[in-house]
């Protein structure tokens, strides 16, 4: 009788925890994005550059979807945030670095002038991947401790990981479009790896589309432009992607100039901070 009561009380205290299906959907989308990045690594090892680039593009699209799906379903969690960072490191740090490295080494054969520097190429690929890891770690700790000035809402602090992956793949995308060996050189590949790594690790402002607003009178021209870009993606996919990558790279110095102007305007018209008053300690 005593054992029966003990089991009955134990069954009441240990209730079975159930998780709704909708809470699992954002994590599944993130896992598919990570799987797409790992698949890109496989295609890069086999020399299938077209498939490897498309796999990273799919990971970029899914990375932009999972957060919105989580907020729409009200299924945000700490597990999803950590899983998203790990998936981003694989898809936008490791996969692009290996793709560009193997893409470079395809032309660096024995007897080539760049053959003695193949260790440097691998070091730059590692440099890019580690800068991506640093960028993601800094983003995680800045969610609650980021810049609070109002002009920062239009910019990212450093190059975001998907943007860095898109930029580092731009020479390979142009090579896929033109079939020209001029783009598939170790000097272009190493330069883009180093540049994108530095832009992700530094604190330079880059454009953020989250807070951009379109005036009502310009909505129709913007929609027409978006439809034109979609049509170009359907008809000239690689040319459009390469052009977007070039314009995105050119936007970095433009964002720097705009950021400095906004900061000067804010510092000019904002009131000067007052010195904090110090209360003397009470006498013992």
Q: Predicted confidence band at 78 (pLDDT cuts at 50, 70, 90)? A: confident
The answer to whether position 1 is within a domain reads no
Q: What pTM value is reported for the model?
A: 0.83
Q: Of 267, 81, 67, 256, give the one whose Cα is nearest residue 155.
A: 256
From the CB of residue 112, how many other CB atoms can be counted at a distance below 10 Å? 12
The answer to whether position 16 is within a domain reads no
Q: Tens digit of pLDDT for each residue in 192-201? A: 999 999 999 9
CATH code at position 182: 1.20.120.1760
The answer to whether position 121 is within a domain reads yes
Provide the domain count of the chain: 1
pLDDT at 48 > cutoff 70: yes
- Write down the mean pLDDT value for the chain: 83
The answer to whether position 227 is within a domain reads yes
Write down the pLDDT at residue 109: 81
* Higher pLDDT pick, 2 / 52: 52
Question: What is the rounded distance in angstroms from the CA atom of residue 190 to the CA atom of residue 168?
Answer: 10
Question: Among the listed ranges 13-22, 29-38, 111-120, 156-165, which one has the minimum average pLDDT value?
Answer: 13-22
Q: Which residues form the domain of 154?
A: 21-106+115-268
Which residue is listed with tokens 């925890």?
A: 17
Question: What is the rounded distance in angstroms from the CA atom of residue 12 to the CA atom of residue 5?
Answer: 11
Question: What is the rounded distance in angstroms from the CA atom of residue 204 to the CA atom of residue 241?
Answer: 24
The answer to whether position 210 is within a domain reads yes
Q: Tens digit of pLDDT for each residue in 248-278? A: 999 999 988 988 888 888 777 766 554 444 4
The answer to whether position 224 is within a domain reads yes
The answer to whether position 281 is within a domain reads no
Sign of the CA dihedral running 20, 23, 27, 32: positive
The answer to whether position 8 is within a domain reads no
Which residues make Cβ contacts (< 8 Å) with residue 64, sequence separation at least 6?
A: 162
Q: Mean pLDDT, to the nearest integer, of 142-151?
A: 68
Write down the pLDDT at residue 283: 39
């Amino acid at each position: 009788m005593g054992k029966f009561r003990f089991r009955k009380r134990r069954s009441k205290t240990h209730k079975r925890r159930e998780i709704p299906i909708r809470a699992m959907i954002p994590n599944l989308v993130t896992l598919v994005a990570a799987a797409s990045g790992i698949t890109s690594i496989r295609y890069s090892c086999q020399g299938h550059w077209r498939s490897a680039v498309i796999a990273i593009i799919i990971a970029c699209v899914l990375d932009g979807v999972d957060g919105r799906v989580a907020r729409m379903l009200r299924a945000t969690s700490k597990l999803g945030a950590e899983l998203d960072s790990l998936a981003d490191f694989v898809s936008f740090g490791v996969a692009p670095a290996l793709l560009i490295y193997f893409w470079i080494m395809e032309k660096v054969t024995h007897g080539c002038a760049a053959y003695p520097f193949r260790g440097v190429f691998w070091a730059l690929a590692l440099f890019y991947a580690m800068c991506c890891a640093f960028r993601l770690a800094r983003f995680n700790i800045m969610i609650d401790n980021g810049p609070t000035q109002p002009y920062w809402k239009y910019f990212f602090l450093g190059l975001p990981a998907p943007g860095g992956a898109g930029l580092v793949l731009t020479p390979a995308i142009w090579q896929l479009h033109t079939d020209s060996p001029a783009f598939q050189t170790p000097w272009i590949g190493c330069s883009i790896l180093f540049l994108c790594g530095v832009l992700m690790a530094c604190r330079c402002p880059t454009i953020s589309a989250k807070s951009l607003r379109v005036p009502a009178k310009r909505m129709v021209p913007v929609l027409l432009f978006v439809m034109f870009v979609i049509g170009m993606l359907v008809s000239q996919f690689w040319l459009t992607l390469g052009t977007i990558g070039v314009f995105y790279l050119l936007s970095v110095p433009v964002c720097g100039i705009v950021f400095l102007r906004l900061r000067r305007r804010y510092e000019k018209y904002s009131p000067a901070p007052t010195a904090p008053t110090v209360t003397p300690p009470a006498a013992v």
